[in-house]
């Protein structure tokens, strides 16, 4: 590809032209030729080559300037007197018909950004772009052309860059503002409009003063840093369309556009949700650390990943001693299979509530605990670990065991105690009693069946006298028992 003349070459050429043009013996035709020679654009004069029937079948080079030779990559000796289609056969399909039309009709031709592919003087097949003008000159043409290949490439690159910038600008989840150093907002992407609660026109009308809370000290320090270093990054407070304020993380960079104007690109994102979650996290952390319950977390395999002060008080292990350890640190060996089963349920997304079991402290003693466990679920429904709340119920279990023991003893004692109550049907004559089945039984049989009393038989003094019986043995007492 031929190189464009340097600034020094152009100045030297212009100086030589002035010197030649000022020569007193120089005629007008020679001056015209000198002008053509110093043109930066290619210039050539062609004469029509006609067939015996008078039809134009080619064009012959009669003149070509220095720029034309450079653009065609052929010297004058290689060009003058040669036919156009002989040197540049691609003209037949691309330009030859248009050239003939100029000669036949006298109407000039103009083509801008004409892409032309042919074998040039270097022997290379090149695809180049030209701006081209052709006018009728006698029975031929005068043509000027300018190589715009680099300009087209630059324009294409700029269009591609503009397209990429627009794609990023319009579709970025980050808010983007294009601003001027004086505070004007020149453009705002949809994300910025959504976060700020304003349209792009409203943002541009508000400017920096209407978007950023410039009264806070951080804003002044931010602007000073950007002015001094060309870039700044930090947290500021911005204002929405409704007047509410919200925290943002903001990055601002100064740059110079192709026209030489200083501009600023600003990227920011709303930190409101992040700040809310951070505050909630701090509150939860304070709550976890202040509770007397043991709270700890583990990964999906049960390896301990977090451990609060309550867990240290319950199990005796510090956080440094517990974190990174397997479940066997606090689970008795005979309960490890049960623990693995519980981990499987938690990995499947189930929750465990008030599960009572045994755990082992650092000193080896066993304690009764009540466990509440649940999987740690993220917003995308993935489970990353398990949280456990453990409460010592050893005293409660001891009290319940003591209560159960006392109740059992009382129930056993009560089983030995039988009492008579209610109305008992008794015969007024023979003194037999009717039992629950409706049969009449002897009084002593009924009482023995319904109480702990036992009978011994004797004769009272009244009966001895009445029936003239032999008195009983005196050793049995006055009642005859």
pLDDT band at 440 (very low <50, low <70, confident <90, very high): confident
**CATH number, domain 172-275:** 3.30.450.20
Q: Which helix (H) or strand (E) holds 20?
A: helix 7-21
Residue 281's pLDDT is 72
In angstroms, the CA 240 to CA 248 distance is 12
* Number of neighbouring beta carbons within 10 Å of residue 31: 14
Per-residue burial over 48-81, b if 16 or more Cβ lie within 10 Å, else e, is beeeeeeebebbbbbbbbbbbbbbbbbeeeebee
Token code pair at residue 12: 């030297």
Q: 172-275 with 291-396: one CATH topology?
A: yes
pLDDT in tens, 385-432: 888 999 889 998 999 888 888 888 877 766 655 566 667 788 877 778
In angstroms, the CA 68 to CA 421 distance is 138
What is the second-level CATH architecture of the domain 291-396?
A: 2-Layer Sandwich (3.30)
Token code pair at residue 197: 């609660």
Pairing outcome for strands 140-147 and 42-50 = antiparallel
Residue 5's pLDDT is 52
pLDDT in tens, 195-215: 999 999 999 999 988 999 888
pLDDT in tens, 232-284: 999 999 998 888 999 999 999 999 887 888 999 999 999 988 888 777 777 66
- 8 A C-beta contact, residue 451 and residue 418: yes
What is the overall mean pLDDT for the chain?
82
Residue 187's pLDDT is 92
In angstroms, the CA 195 to CA 190 distance is 9
pLDDT in tens, 353-385: 999 999 999 999 999 999 998 888 876 778 888
pLDDT in tens, 109-151: 998 877 777 666 666 677 788 888 999 999 999 999 888 888 8
pLDDT band at 17 (very low <50, low <70, confident <90, very high): very low
pLDDT in tens, 90-102: 888 888 999 999 9
- Of the candidate CATH numbers 3.40.50.300, 3.10.20.740, 3.50.50.60, 3.30.450.20, the domain formed by 39-152 belongs to 3.30.450.20
pLDDT band at 21 (very low <50, low <70, confident <90, very high): very low
pLDDT band at 481 (very low <50, low <70, confident <90, very high): very low
Residue 14's pLDDT is 47
In angstroms, the CA 161 to CA 156 distance is 8
pLDDT in tens, 287-318: 666 677 888 888 888 899 888 888 898 999 99
Residue 278's pLDDT is 79
In angstroms, the CA 339 to CA 62 distance is 100
Nearest residue to 250 via CA among 230, 262, 266 = 266
Q: Give the rounded percent of residues in the chain with a pLDDT score beyond 90.
A: 33
Residue 13's pLDDT is 52
Residue 155's pLDDT is 83
More confident residue, 474 or 66: 66
Sequence spans of domains, the chain:
39-152, 172-275, 291-396
- 8 A C-beta contact, residue 398 and residue 391: no
Residue 94's pLDDT is 80
């Amino acid at each position: 590809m031929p190189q464009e003349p340097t600034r020094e070459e152009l100045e030297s050429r212009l100086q030589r032209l002035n010197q030649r043009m000022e020569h007193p013996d120089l005629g007008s035709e020679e001056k015209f030729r000198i002008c053509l020679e110093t043109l930066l654009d290619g210039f050539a004069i062609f004469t029509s080559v006609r067939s015996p029937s008078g039809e134009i079948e080619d064009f012959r080079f009669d003149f070509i300037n220095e720029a034309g030779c450079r653009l065609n990559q052929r010297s004058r000796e290689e060009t003058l007197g040669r036919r156009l289609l002989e040197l540049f056969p691609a003209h037949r399909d691309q330009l030859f018909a248009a050239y003939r039309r100029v000669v036949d009709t006298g109407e000039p031709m103009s083509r801008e950004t004409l892409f032309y592919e042919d074998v040039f003087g270097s022997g290379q097949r090149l695809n180049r772009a030209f701006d081209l003008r052709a006018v009728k000159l006698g029975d031929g043409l005068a043509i000027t052309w300018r190589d715009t290949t680099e300009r087209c490439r630059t324009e294409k690159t700029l269009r591609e860059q503009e397209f990429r910038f627009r794609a990023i600008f319009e579709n970025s989840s980050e808010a983007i503002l294009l601003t001027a150093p004086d505070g004007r907002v020149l453009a705002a992407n949809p994300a910025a409009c959504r976060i700020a609660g304003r349209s792009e026109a409203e943002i541009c009308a508000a400017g920096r003063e209407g978007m950023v809370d410039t009264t806070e000290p951080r804003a002044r320090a931010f602007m000073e840093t950007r002015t001094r270093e060309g870039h700044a990054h930090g947290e500021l407070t911005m204002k929405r369309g409704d007047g509410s304020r919200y925290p943002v993380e903001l990055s601002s960079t100064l740059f110079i556009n192709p026209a030489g104007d200083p501009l600023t690109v600003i990227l920011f994102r709303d930190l409101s949700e992040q700040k809310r979650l951070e505050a909630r996290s701090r509150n939860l952390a304070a709550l976890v650390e202040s509770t007397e319950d043991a709270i700890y977390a583990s990964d999906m395999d049960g390896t301990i990943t977090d451990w609060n002060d309550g867990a240290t008080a319950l199990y005796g292990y510090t956080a440094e001693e517990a974190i990174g350890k397997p479940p066997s640190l606090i689970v008795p060996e005979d309960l490890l299979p049960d623990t693995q089963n519980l981990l499987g349920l938690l990995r499947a997304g189930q929750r465990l509530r008030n599960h009572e079991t045994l755990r082992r402290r650092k000193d080896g003693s066993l304690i009764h605990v009540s466990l509440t466990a649940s999987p740690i679920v993220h917003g995308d429904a993935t489970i990353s670990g398990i949280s456990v709340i453990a409460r010592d119920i050893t005293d409660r279990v001891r009290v319940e065991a003591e209560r159960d023991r006392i109740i059992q003893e009382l129930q056993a004692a009560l089983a030995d105690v039988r009492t008579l109550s209610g109305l008992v049907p008794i015969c007024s004559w023979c003194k037999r009693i009717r039992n629950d089945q409706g049969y009449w039984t002897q009084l002593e049989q009924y009482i023995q069946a319904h109480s702990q009393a036992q009978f011994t038989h004797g004769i009272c003094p009244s009966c001895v006298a009445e029936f003239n019986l032999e008195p009983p043995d005196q050793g049995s007492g006055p009642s005859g028992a």
